[in-house]
């Protein structure tokens, strides 16, 4: 959806700013916006986008076929009687929205849709659009119901997905931490890091014995960068936000005053 682009833009800004300081580390995402159906408007308020806050103007993926047909039959159009099915977003927003939906579902062009309903009124047009949406959603609904009935399979999928996501994220974090540790500013005992870094309550990198060299965390005889992280706020959802304080130091056996610590070997 076109209105979701802002969330991708936020991610792009973060990646671009990080890469500008530390080099090409993070992949900058690109939004995918289809040519048709990128912005779907409400069926009963075609001047506003389709939203679940307006149920009668919104089609839900698991709506019953009869409910979907009813919503399309009640969709707002206009009072035209001749060549009424034509695309004109400015003067015919309701009809243009229905044509956009029909085009996205069937792959037909606006010209083909206008030709299909040439000489026909909205009484013929709106049910056809509704039926096309019902048929498009039918396999999705059937597969959804099948999956929801198999709880064991769903658990296996989300566990496998979590493991894969953790593996991919860990590889990215390795690159990020390594680039932080090798940043020239470390010679001045100051490495710029994002404020309010969201870390787990206990963290270290690399893990003990997890790197090359066999020593704690990897390199034997290497210099240890300990980043002390102080909890500064606890939001309502329970996540801990942290204020990192980087400094060169020997790896501490314990930091009672710190809620987390991260170590880097160079």
At residue 251, the 3 state secondary structure works out as coil
**Cβ contact 54:42 at 8 Å:** yes
Give the Å distances, CA to CA, from 128 to 42, 52, 73, 113, 131.
18, 23, 9, 11, 5
39 or 223: which leads in pLDDT: 39
- Model pTM? 0.60
Q: What does residue 2 show for φ and ψ, rounded to 5 degrees?
A: -65, -35
Contact 97, 43 (CB under 8 A): yes
Q: What is the pLDDT of residues 34-79, one digit of tens each?
A: 776 678 999 999 999 998 899 999 999 999 999 999 999 999 999 9
pLDDT at 188: 42
Question: Which residue would you say has higher pLDDT here, 140 or 11?
Answer: 140
- The mean pLDDT of 144-157, rounded to a whole number, is 95
Task: Calculate what percentage of the chain has a pLDDT beyond 90.
Answer: 47
pLDDT beyond 90 at 118: yes
pLDDT of residue 184: 59
Name the residue with tokens 């009640």: 74
Across the range 134-155, mean pLDDT stands at 96
Which single residue is written with the structure tokens 């980043």? 227
The overall average pLDDT reported for the chain is: 75
Buried b (16+ CB within 10 A) or exposed e, 164-199: eeeeeeeeeeeebbbbbbebeebeeeebebeeeeeb
Q: Which residues contact 42 (CB under 8 A, 6 or more apart)?
A: 48, 49, 50, 51, 54, 57, 58
Q: Is the pLDDT of residue 248 over 80?
A: no
CA pair distance 179, 234, nearest whole angstrom: 28
Is the pLDDT reported for residue 141 higher than 90? yes
Name, in order, each residue with C-beta under 8 angstroms of 35's C-beta and a sequence gap of 6 or more. Answer: none
DSSP state, residue 30: -
Which is higher by pLDDT, 161 or 209?
A: 161
- Asked if residue 227 has pLDDT above 50, the reply is no
CA distances from 153 to 60, 120, 130, 162 (A): 25, 48, 33, 14
Q: Tell me the CA distances in angstroms from 48 to 54, 75, 85, 181, one per residue in order.
A: 10, 13, 20, 49
């Amino acid at each position: 959806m076109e209105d979701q682009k802002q969330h991708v833009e936020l991610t792009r800004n973060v990646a671009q700013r990080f890469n500008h300081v530390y080099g090409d580390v993070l992949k900058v995402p690109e939004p995918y916006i289809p040519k048709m159906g990128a912005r779907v408007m409400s069926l009963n308020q075609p001047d506003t986008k389709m939203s679940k806050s307006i149920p009668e103007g919104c089609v839900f993926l698991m709506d019953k076929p009869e409910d979907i047909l009813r919503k399309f039959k009640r969709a707002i159009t206009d009072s035209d009687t001749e060549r009424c099915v034509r695309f004109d977003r400015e003067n015919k927003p309701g009809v243009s929205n229905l044509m956009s939906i029909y085009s996205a579902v069937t792959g037909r062009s606006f010209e083909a849709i206008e030709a299909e309903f040439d000489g026909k009124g909205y009484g013929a047009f709106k049910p056809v659009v509704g039926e096309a949406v019902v048929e498009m959603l039918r396999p999705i609904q059937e597969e959804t119901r099948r999956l929801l009935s198999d709880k064991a399979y769903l658990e296996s999928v989300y566990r496998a997905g979590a493991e894969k996501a953790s593996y991919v994220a860990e590889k990215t974090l390795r690159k990020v931490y390594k680039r932080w540790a090798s940043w020239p500013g470390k010679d001045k005992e100051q490495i710029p890091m994002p404020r309010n870094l969201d870390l787990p309550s206990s963290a270290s990198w690399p893990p003990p014995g997890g790197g090359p060299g066999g020593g704690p965390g990897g390199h034997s005889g290497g210099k240890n960068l300990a980043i002390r992280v102080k909890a500064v706020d606890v939001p309502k959802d329970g996540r801990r936000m942290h204020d990192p304080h980087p400094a060169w130091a020997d790896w501490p056996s314990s930091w009672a005053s710190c809620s987390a610590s991260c170590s880097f070997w160079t």
